[in-house]
Amino acid sequence: MTLSNSSPKRFAALFVALWVAAGAACAQPDPLFTQIDGIVTELSAITGLARLRPVDYDHISKDEVARIMAQSIEDEIKPEEIRAEELVLKKFGFVPADFDLKKTTLALLTEQAAAFYDYRKKKLFVLDSTADPLQGLALVHELAHALADQHFNLQKFVAGANRKDDSELARMAVMEGQATWLMFEHLVRPTGQSLKDSPELVALMSRAPELARGQFPVFDRAPLYLRESLLFPYFKGMLFQQALVQKLGQAAFTEMFRHPPVSTQQILHPEKYFAGVLPVAPPLPRWELRRKWRILGEGAFGEFDHSVLLRQYIGEQESARIAPEGIGAYYRLLEDKADGRLVLLYSSEWSSEAAARDFFALYQRVLKGKWKSFRADSQTANSVSGEGDDGYFLLTLDGTQVSSVEGMSSPKEAPAAPANTIH
């Protein structure tokens, strides 16, 4: 899911590169920095990416990290964009009504940050702190970014995503997944092993976040959507990298940058990436605009988004069963210029009529779950209409398409529902 100018994924991208290093406090900077040349040489041999120039580096205080991260948000995202992103998250029910996106983001940024590569300044920073053996792994991860940046310009690579779909998160998964794969490859090589020959080992390492539970209070308290947005690029991206390495060998480390995946579905199902399966953009409900409205945000709603939404309100099992059946979705959030009323238009396309009917039933449970009050005034086999916390809604099923309009001031504003037939 993205907005017209930015997205929750893009907002998360400002700090996603810090998280994998979060548990690694810094050893004394100088001894650590002496490892850089050897690590870059190893990474170059693994990836086939030659070192084009030395990596610039420096150490940094925790106060400086907080200042840099706050400044990054100010420079990258306008206040109205932050507001729009926050409202989209609230309207879909990903975060509670009193959630403060900027405040939570800054807290996540600075909670345990230890090392990061700034691809705008082309510089590696390591936090001054106490010694920890994991810092060496964090250094490998960030040097993998530095090496990739010399060949593919990571700032332009991320900016090259279409902000009207979830390709931004897919591109973050390319960056972070590759760096995470290389970090763990560096870890196992001294034992004579390699990840490319050990898919079981990769699967085991992809569950690493489970071991970190309880160590980061801000992260643990954050809404599911934000937590998953942070973790997805690292660990789903690592599994995607593994699939490419097994199919393409060393060429995988360049192919994924030259021909990046276009959706989170391609990350989650690499066979769809190889087959060139693209998401569709189903038409939104035909809703008559009788007042003056502004578009706060619009964009694709990807498999990642459906997966988290269903996990949050239904459960892991149903999420795993239904989310992969989506072949495309789109949304638009409108704001009444006069009174600030928000209306959400949403439409999704599914692989079969049976899958669409299943999701139609599940989305009714999502509506009931995200609102404190839910009243169904009219219900047929193909439509449900009524009133929720923020106004009237209409949810419809039409063949393989499920659509909704949420937040109307009157049921008279609802578009015509599809015929009451089961296809």
Three-state secondary structure string covering 97-155? CCCCHHHHHHHHHHCCCCEEEECCCCEEEEECCCCCCCHHHHHHHHHHHHHHHHHHCHH
Question: Could you give the residue ranges of the DSSP H alpha helices within 153-251?
Answer: 154-159, 167-188, 199-205, 217-221, 224-248
Task: Provide the 3-class DSSP secondary structure of residue 219.
Answer: helix
pLDDT in tens, 189-210: 999 999 999 888 998 888 877 7
Backbone angles phi and psi of 399, in degrees to 5: 70, -115
Residue reference for tokens 């015929």 = 419
How far is it, in rounded angstroms, from Cα 404 to Cα 301? 13
Long-range contacts, stretch 207-214, CB < 8 angstroms, 24+ apart = 207/235, 208/235, 209/235, 212/23
Strand pairing class (375-379; 326-336): unpaired
Place of tokens 């149903």: 318
Work out the mean pLDDT of the chain and round it to a whole number: 86
Tens digits of residue pLDDT in 278-312: 999 999 998 877 678 999 999 899 999 999 999 99
Residue that is written with structure tokens 């030659």 in the block: 50
What size, in residues, is the chain? 423
- Return the amino acid letter for 244: L
pLDDT (tens digit per residue) in 49-60: 999 999 998 888
Quick one: CA dihedral 129, 135, 140, 141, positive or negative? negative
Residue 131 has pLDDT above 80, yes or no: no
Mean pLDDT, rounded, for 54-75: 81
Helix axes 224-248, 167-188, angle to 10 degrees: 60
Rounded Cα gap, residues 362 and 310, in angstroms: 8
266 has pLDDT over 80: yes
CA distance 259 to 273: 10
Task: Tell me how far apart the alpha carbons of residues 246 and 239 are, in angstroms, rounded to a whole number.
Answer: 11
